[in-house]
C-alpha cells in the first residue's frame, strides 16, 4: 500500500478512513484530527492555559506532546496513586517525558493526602475503582481551579468514548447521556473538562506514540480485573471492521442529534450542589464531599 499523501510506502493502514500513510504523513494526519476535534467542538483557544492529566499511558502522553507542538500552553498533572509496582513506574515515565520535552509537571501524591489507593481499598467495602476514579477527578478539578487553568484535558480516545456511549445508551441513562462528550463547560465550581483525542482511535494513538518514540507505562492496575469496557470495545471493534467509519459516525451523530435532546430535559446540577464543609469542593452528597468522607474512613481504619 502507498501513502495517500506522498506516495511512499505506507506504514499505517487505516481501514476506517479507507487509506494508508507513511510515518510522517500519519503524524500530520494525527495533528489535523486533534486540531479538528478541538476547533469543531470549541474545546480550547490557543492562548488559554490547559492542565493535561497524564497517567504515563500512551494516550495522555501523546495528547500532551501534540498539544504542546500545536502551540497550546500545556502543563502536566500526574496523580501518584501509591499503588505498588505500578504508580512508581508511571511516575518515573511521566517525569522523564516532561524533562525530555521541557514541559511543566505537577505531581499530587495521594499518600501525602491520606488517600493512598491500597489504604482506600482496605477501608472500603466496595470495589476500589469507582472510589479511585472519584478521587482522581476531585484532584484534577482542584488542581485546575487552584492553578487558574482554563481547562483540564484528559487522554480519552474514540474507543473510550464510544464504549462509554454504548454503555450509557444500553441503560438509556439520561443523566449521563446529557453530559457525555468531549466538552464539559466550567460551572458550579467545576473546571472545563476536555477530551481533544475524541476523533482518534486507540490504534491511531498507539501508532502516533510509537512513531514519536514516546516511552509509556504499560503497567496495569492490580485492582482492575481488566481495562474498562473491554467487551463493548471488542464489539465496537468488530462493527468497525465490518463497517469502517461507523464508530466516529456513531459518536458524532450522538453529539449532534442525541446529546442536545437529553441535555434539554436534564435537571439543573446547581440545585443539588453546595461546597464541602471541609475542602470547599462542590458536592451533592451531604455536608462533606465523597473524597473527604473516604479520607475519614481511611483514617478510622488506620486507627482501629
Q: Which of 38, 54, 93, 163 binds ligand AMP (CB under 6 A)?
A: 54
224 near ligand FES (CB under 6 A): yes
**Grid cell of 88 as nine digits:** 512508581
- 265 in Cβ contact with 174 (< 8 Å): yes
Report the Cα 294 to chain-centroid distance in Å. Answer: 23
Which residues have C-beta within 8 Å of that of residue 28, sequence separation ≥ 6? 5
Which of 281, 262, 265 has the alpha carbon at shortest distance from 273? Answer: 281
Considering the complex, state which of residue 44 and residue 298 has its C-beta at the smaller distance from ligand FES: 298
**Binding positions for ligand FES, 97-156, rule CB under 6 A:** 117, 128-129, 132
257 CB burial (10 A radius; 0-12, 13-18, 19+): exposed
Q: Which of 38, 79, 119, 120 binds ligand AMP (CB under 6 A)?
A: 79
Residue number closest to ligand AMP, CB atom: 155
Considering the complex, state which of residue 81 and residue 163 has its C-beta at the smaller distance from ligand FES: 81
Considering the complex, state which of residue 95 and residue 263 has its C-beta at the smaller distance from ligand AMP: 95
Reduced to 3 DSSP states, what percent helix, strand and coil does the chain have, rounded to the nearest 5?
Answer: 50, 15, 35
Q: Which of 276, 294, 295, 298 binds Zn ion (CB under 5 A)?
A: 276
**Residue-level length of the chain:** 304
Stretch that binds ligand AMP, among 48-56, 177-185, 244-252, 290-298 (CB under 6 A): 48-56
Residues near ligand FES (CB under 6 A)? 81, 117, 128-129, 132, 221, 223-224
Residues near Zn ion (CB under 5 A)? 276, 278-279, 281, 289, 292
Amino acid at each position: 500500500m502507498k501513502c495517500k499523501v506522498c506516495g511512499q510506502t505506507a506504514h499505517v493502514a487505516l481501514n476506517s478512513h479507507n487509506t494508508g500513510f507513511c510515518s510522517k504523513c500519519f503524524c500530520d494526519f494525527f495533528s489535523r484530527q486533534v486540531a479538528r476535534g478541538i476547533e469543531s467542538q470549541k474545546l480550547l483557544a490557543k492562548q488559554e492555559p490547559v492542565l493535561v492529566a497524564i497517567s504515563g499511558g500512551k494516550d495522555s502522553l501523546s495528547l500532551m506532546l501534540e498539544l504542546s507542538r500545536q502551540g497550546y500552553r500545556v502543563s502536566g498533572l500526574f496523580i501518584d496513586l501509591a499503588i505498588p509496582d505500578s504508580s512508581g513506574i508511571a511516575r518515573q515515565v511521566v517525569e522523564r517525558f516532561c524533562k525530555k520535552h521541557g514541559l511543566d509537571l505537577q505531581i499530587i501524591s495521594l499518600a501525602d493526602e491520606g488517600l493512598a489507593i491500597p489504604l482506600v481499598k482496605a477501608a472500603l467495602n466496595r470495589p476500589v475503582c469507582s472510589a479511585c476514579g472519584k478521587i482522581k477527578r476531585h484532584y484534577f478539578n482542584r488542581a485546575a481551579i487552584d492553578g487558574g487553568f482554563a481547562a483540564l484535558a484528559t487522554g480519552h480516545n474514540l474507543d473510550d468514548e464510544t464504549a462509554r456511549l454504548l454503555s450509557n445508551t444500553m441503560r438509556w441513562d439520561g443523566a449521563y447521556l446529557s453530559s457525555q462528550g468531549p466538552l464539559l463547560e466550567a460551572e458550579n465550581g467545576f473546571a472545563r473538562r476536555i477530551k481533544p483525542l475524541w476523533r482518534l482511535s486507540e490504534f491511531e494513538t498507539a501508532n502516533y506514540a510509537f512513531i514519536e518514540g514516546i516511552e509509556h507505562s504499560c503497567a496495569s492496575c492490580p485492582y482492575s480485573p481488566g481495562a474498562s469496557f473491554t467487551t463493548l470495545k471488542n464489539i465496537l471493534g468488530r462493527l468497525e471492521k465490518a463497517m469502517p467509519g461507523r464508530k466516529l459516525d456513531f459518536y458524532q451523530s450522538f453529539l449532534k442529534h442525541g446529546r442536545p435532546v437529553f441535555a434539554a430535559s436534564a435537571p439543573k446540577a446547581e440545585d443539588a450542589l453546595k461546597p464541602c464543609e471541609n475542602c470547599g469542593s462542590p458536592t451533592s452528597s451531604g455536608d462533606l464531599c465523597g473524597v473527604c468522607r473516604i479520607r475519614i474512613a481511611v483514617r478510622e481504619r488506620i486507627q482501629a
